[in-house]
Structures are given as structure tokens and as C-alpha cells.
Structure 1
Amino acid sequence: MTENNTSRPFDETEALAWLRSQPDGRVTASAAELGRQWGWNRMRTSRRLRAWQKAGHILRNAEEIVVTASVTPAVTEAAGVVPEATVTRRSMTPVKRAAFIVALVLACVSAAFSIDGLTAIFAGAFWPVIIMGAALEAGKLVAAAWLTENWRSAPPLLCLILVTMIGVLMSLNAIGVFGFLTRAHLDHMVALDLALADRTADTEAGLAIQVQSVADLDRRIAQIDAAVEESTRLGRPIGAMTLADQKRRDRADIVAARQHEAQALANLRVEKAKVDAERRRAEADVGPVRYLAELTGMPATDLERAVRLLTLALVAVLDPMAVALLLAAGARTERARLR
């Protein structure tokens, strides 16, 4: 550790430059020893070391001090020392760049879902809600980025206010996203149920009519055959033959009509089978949700509760992940290299 050869005390710039001039930018000394080197008292030395550590200029481990922030050439020349050891720099690494990009993508997706959900809640103010939602989302991200850059130097009250506002905005975002996802699920299920219900009602009504028509034609054919059989049984074969000749054309027309109605009935039954198949296919769409309900111990028939839990899980991850990645992308990291 070099001695202070000057008669005057060091100023703060010279003291920091002196630390920087030590081998590898490291020195092991107490605050009192450093104060003697710089011509300071122990209290001033301790106070300045704490301030430099808070500002990120140095790192302290017990009595070892490591310079982490670079000192400009003008400062080192003024102190009469030549920098020899480490310099630190902040750089946007590929991982941080990826985190920043993904954070923006997640924030945009979350904002779009949230704003859409809020417009459904406040349907009477469509465009004002969109403008307000976009402004609030931008303010939330900027506040998070500002806190990342100024957390150590900002006033504690301001940091508390901003953190509170970010938390409130994330809660509002969660409400909007929850509304958007649940509305999408309900709209799909309601539209599907209505479409299938309409087709089922039409098919059931047609089936009832066709069954009645076929039954009526069968009854008329049976009446003609019964009349002919009754004449024959009573020992009037000539009358039976005459009656059969009279009713032959009518019976043939009725049989033809019966075949036509039977074909229509078969077509309706095929249509009903198709509707039932579409209903089963719609139930298969929510099959994963049913399995999720069973996995979590809920009744397989209580699909809506499982859908709500899944929606809440998505809401709890989407916007917080965007904010967390934005904070990670702007977090202070320092890397030393030999000059």
C-alpha cells in the first residue's frame, strides 16, 4: 500500500483514483488506515466508503476493498496514478437482449388481452378504455425500468409509491386478462350449445312428424288388408276379390307414400346421429379440462371450476413474467477485465 506523499488531504476523486491505482484494484485496510493515507478522519472515510459502495464504485468484503467502477483518465492523471487493473462495464448480453424482447412481447400480449377484457366490462366507453389501458401499460413498464436503473439512488418513498402503483396496475391487468379469457371460453361454449340445440330441436321435431306419418300410412295399409281378409273369412271370396281390385290402386299409392316417408325418416335419423357426433366432438374439446379437473381432485362434471383455475394460473404468470423479464433485462451486472 503506497503512502500519501502530499501534504494536503486527498479529495474524493483522488481518493477513489488512489484505490484504483492499487494492484488489481484491491486493497485490504480498515477505514482508519485509509483515512491516514488520504489525510481524512475515520468518520469521513467510513461515510465515503459506504457511499461509494452504494453507488457501485467499490465492493467491500470485510476489510478488502475492490474498485468496480472505472475512473476517467483525467481523474487518474490528476491524482498522479496510472490505472493498472480492472475496469468494469455494463453491456447488453444476448441473454439480456432476449429477455428484453420477450418482456416486450409478453407485455404487448398481456396489454392486448387486458384492454380487450376491460372494454367488455366498460362497453360504453370503448375507445377511452383502450387509450387509458395503453397509457397505463406503458406507464407500468416505464416505472419498472426506472426503478431498475435508480433503485439505489431514488428516495425510498418514491420507490414505495412506484412499487405500489405497479402492483395495482398488475392487478388491473389480471382482471382484464381474466375477463378476456373467460369471455372467450363462454362465448365458444354458448355458441356451440345454441347451434347444437337448434339443430337438435329441428331434427327431433322432424323425427316426430315423420314417425307419425309412417305410422298413419301403416295403419291405412293395415285397414285395407284387414277389410279384404274379413270378406274372405266371411265366405265371400267374390266380394273380397272385388274389394281388393277396388283398393289395389289406393294401396299401391299408400305403399309408395309410405316408402317415401320412411326414407325421409331414415334421413332424419342420420341427421340426428350427426348432431350427436358433433356434441360428442364438442365435449372432446374440453377433454383436457376434464382431465385437469380429475387430476386436481375436482368432479369431472365441474368443468367451469377447472377452467377458472386454469385461467387464474395464466393470469398469474403472463403480466408478472413480462415485468420480471424487463427488470432482469435492466438489472445492473458488471464484468471485469484486465486492461
Structure 2
Amino acid sequence: MTDPGLGRRLPVPATEVSVIVLNQRPSRASDLAWPRRKEQHLIMTESVPPHPFDDMEALAWLRSQPEGRVTVSAAELGRQWGWNRMRTNRRLKAWERAGLISRNAEAINVTGTVTSVVTDGTAVVTDAAGVTGMPGAVGAHGSPTRVKLAALIVALALACVSAAFSIDGLTAIFAGAFWPVIIMGAVLEAGKLVAAAWLTEHWTSAPSLLRFVLVLMIGVLMGLNAVGVFGFLTRAHLDHMASIDLTLADRTADVEARLGMQSRVVTDIDRRIGQIDAAIDEATHLGRPVGAMTIADQRRRERADIAAERQRESQALANLQIEKAKIDAQRRRAEAEVGPIRYLAELIGIPATDFERAVRLLTLALVAVLDPMAVALLLAAGVHARRAASF
């Protein structure tokens, strides 16, 4: 407002200011909500959190808004709190179910007083009436759950066992480079696990080509691991069976050879005893001349000595037969060790005499679950951690 005589601006009366402001207000209800919405947006973008909010901080932020009310999209809330959109929607739905907030489109009102209760080491958000919401969700940034820890520990244990078997099997194949093969196998196994964990963490953000290459490499490494484990297990079985067969075969051959010799010795002694008996009979048929009786007495003494020798040799022959029986028992015991495999072979339609085929099938089954189970549990632990972080 200007003074016509002096040409200077005069202060505007308060009533006129009010009229001006009223005249500038929009007439529609949607236009009336616009200044407040804009003001709230400015409040949210004035500061960026140095770290993602936890649930208590997010609820406290909502309560700090004018009248505990804010009108904003979930994406903008997520940017304000340092969350992604999925986690923001989940938390808002959980709070609404717990009665902590009410929602009408993008309008959010805080309806309860938020407190923090700690139960079994897990933070739980409740309202003043004791309504519990989001059990275990606030602790998403805390220590991992027991299931995740169990999956991770078992995955690492399986991976270590599988790696040890595989490396041992590869050293048997490449026996000329023992330590280099051990180092190479250990590094490759570690790289396989790290690649699987990295893919779990960055699957959505990694380029498609990189994902394809890593998946291919993990598959190849799992195949090499399977070859090594199969070689280790089959070698263990064959070495055990071969050692038993060779030992028993050597002992059996030795005992049978000694049995044959001892049998011939006893047979020769029997022949000599028969000759002496024939000579004694011939001498006695001549009557009782002094010479004939002397010869008969001499033959009887020789026969007694030979009979004692035969008794000793017969005892040695009996001992050899007992040793052979023990060897046969050991062979039957060794065959009984693979008896379950024979029964398994018969169960799946393989002849009992072809139990080696059943052993190969059992080995393949172990190979098919050992390393893949380790990788699968590692992926499961990673997925569990991702869901807990985005919840």
C-alpha cells in the first residue's frame, strides 16, 4: 500500500493481511491438504538417518510428527527410515494389525503408546494396552536365530567333510602333485562357498552374465567335488576288500601247501609202518628160530618209533586243518560285513552276487547329497538372513 502524497510504502493493516491470506487459500479439499502434505515432505527430507532405523525408532518418528499423523507413500517413508519398500510395507501392515497405527490410503495415524519389551533376548513392540505386535521382528538386526545358526554350522561341517573327501580322492588321482592338489582343492572349495553366499546376497543386483558365470562355476566345482568324493569312497571300499582278500588268499595258499606236504608225510609214515608189519608177519611165520625172533623184535621197536613220529605228524596235520578252518571263518566274516549291501542289492533287483554294483549305487547316492546339501544349507542360511534384514 502506497501513500499518494509521499510516494512511500505504508505498513499493511493486519485485517488486510488476513484478507489476503484468506483469498490465497484454495477452495477445494484436496488443495487444502496440499500445504500440509508439502510441509511434511519437507520435514522428512531435511535429514537423512546415518543408519537404518529400527522398529522403535521408526514408530518414534511417526509419533514425533504433528498430531502423530503423516500423509506419505511407503517408498518415501522407506527412504526416510533407510528401509526398502518391501520392509516398510511389511512393518506398516504389522503395526496396523497390532493396533499401533491406523491407515487410510497414504494417511498414517499413531493410535497407541509404543513401549519396548525384551523377551528371551528379542525386542517386541507393544502398545499401552499390552497388545503385542511384530514378535521377533525388531530383533532382525540382532543376533541370528538358532535355525539360521544351525543351518550355517551344519552347512560348513558338510562342506568341510565333503572338501576333505574330495581332496583326498583327487590326491589319489594326481599322486605326483600331492601338496599342490591339496592347496588347489582347498582354495576351490572355499571359492565355491563364497560364490554361493555372494550370489544369495546379491542375486537381484548382480548382472545376469555374472550370475550365469558364477552358477556355472559352482556347478563345475560341485561336479569335481563329486568326482573326488566318489574316488575316495570307492577306493576305501576296494582297499578294504582287497586287503582282506589278499590276506586270506595268502594264508589259505600257505596252509593248503603245508597241508599237502603234511598229508604226504603221514602217508609215507603209514607206508613204512605197513612194511614193518609185513616184515614182522613174515618173521613170525618162519617159526621161532632165534634169528627170526630177533628180527621181529627189532622191527617192533622201529614200528613204535615210527608210530610216535606219525602221531606227531598227525597232530601237525590237524593243526593245519584247524588253521584253514579259521581262515574260512574269517572269509565268511568278511563276506558278512557286506551282507547289508547284498540285501540292498536284492531289494532293488540286483543279483546278490553282483553286490559291487550295489556298492557303486550307494556311493553315488552319498555323493549326490553330500556337497549339494552343504551348498543348499548355505543358501538357505543366506536367504533367511536376507528375509530377516528386509522384514
TM-score, normalisation: structure 2? 0.67
- Check whether the contact 2:195–2:214 (CA below 8 A) recurs between aligned residues: yes
1:334 pairs with 2:362: no
Moved more, 321-330 or 241-250: 241-250
1:250 is displaced (CA, Å) by 1.2
Residues 41-82 of structure 1, C-alpha deviations (whole Å, 9 max, x = no match)? xxxx99x9xxxxxx953279xxxx54579xxxxxxxxxxx89
User: Could you tell me which residue of structure 1 aligns to residue 200 of structure 2?
Assistant: 148
Matched, 1:236 2:290: no
The answer to whether the aligner puts 1:324 opposite 2:349 as a matched pair is: no
Contact map agreement 1:57 1:68 (CA 8 A) in 2: no
- Equivalent residue runs for 1:130-209 within 5 Å: 130-209=182-261
In 2, the alpha carbon distance for the partners of 1:97 and 1:163 equals: 25
Q: 2 CA distance for matches of 1:125 and 1:132?
A: 11
- Tell me, in whole angstroms, the C-alpha distance in 1 between the residues paired with 2:189 and 2:109: 48
Q: 1:336 to 1:171 in 2, by over 3 A?
A: closer
Deviations 1:227-268 (A, max 9, x none): 2223444x5344653332121221111111101101100110
Is residue 2:180 matched to residue 1:128?
A: yes
CA distance 1:83–1:266, change in 2 (3 Å): farther
In 2, Cα distance between equivalents of 1:164 and 1:227:
93
Task: Give the Cα–Cα distance (whole angstroms) in 2 for the partners of residues 66 and 313 of structure 1.
Answer: 42
Equivalent pair of 1:58/1:68 in contact (CA under 8 Å): no
Deviations 1:112-132 (A, max 9, x none): 000000000011111111111
Higher RCO (CA < 8 A, seq sep 6+): 1
Task: Select which of 85, 94, 98 maps to 1:57.
Answer: 85
CA contact (8 A) 1:56 1:68 kept: no
Structure 1 residues 194, 296: closer, same or farther in 2, change over 3 A?
Answer: same
Structure 1: runs of 5+ lacking an equivalent: 26-36, 40-44, 49-54, 70-80
**Whole-Å Cα distance in 1 between the matches of residues 287 and 342 of structure 2?**
71
Structure-2 residue corresponding to 1:109: 161
Equivalent residue of 2:351, what SS? coil
Q: Does 1:211 align with 2:263?
A: yes
Question: 2:353 aligns to what SS in structure 1?
Answer: coil
Name which of structure 1's ranges 154-163 and 314-323 shifts more when overlaid on structure 2. 154-163
Does 1:301 find its partner at 2:329? no
Q: Distance in 2 between matches of 1:225 and 1:136?
A: 84
| Distance 1:56-1:200 versus aligned 2 partners, 3 A rule | farther
- Distance (Å, rounded) in 1 between the aligned partners of 2:273 and 2:353: 49
Give the CA RMSD over aligned residues.
3.6
> Following TM superposition, by how much is the alpha carbon of 1:191 offset from its aligned partner in structure 2, in angstroms?
0.9
Structure 2 contact 87–390 (Cα < 8 Å) conserved? no
Deviation at 1:208, TM superposition (A): 0.4
Q: Distance in 2 between matches of 1:152 and 1:9?
A: 33
How far apart, CA to CA, are the structure 1 residues paired with 2:329 and 2:292? 51
In 2, distance between residues paired with 1:269 and 1:153?
Answer: 77
Q: CA deviation at 1:291?
A: 0.9
CA contact (8 A) 1:59 1:67 kept: yes
Q: Which amino acid aligns with 2:209?
A: L
8 Å CA contact retained: 2:345, 2:351: yes
Please state whether the residue corresponding to 1:58 is helix, strand or coil. helix
Contact 2:284 2:296 in 1 (8 A): no
Q: How many residues align?
A: 294
Higher Cα Rg: structure 1 or 2? Answer: 2
| Gap regions ≥5 residues in structure 2 | 1-29, 50-54, 63-70, 77-82, 94-107, 112-132
The match for 1:95 is: 147
Checking the alignment, whether the CA contact within 8 Å between 2:165 and 2:229 is kept in structure 1 is yes
For residues 1-41 of structure 1, the C-alpha deviation after alignment (integer angstroms, 9 at most, x for no partner) is x9553459969x76xx9xx999xx9xxxxxxxxxxx879xx
Q: Secondary structure at the residue paired with 2:205?
A: coil
Whole-Å separation in 2 of the counterparts to 1:335 and 1:329 = 12
Identity of aligned residues (%): 64
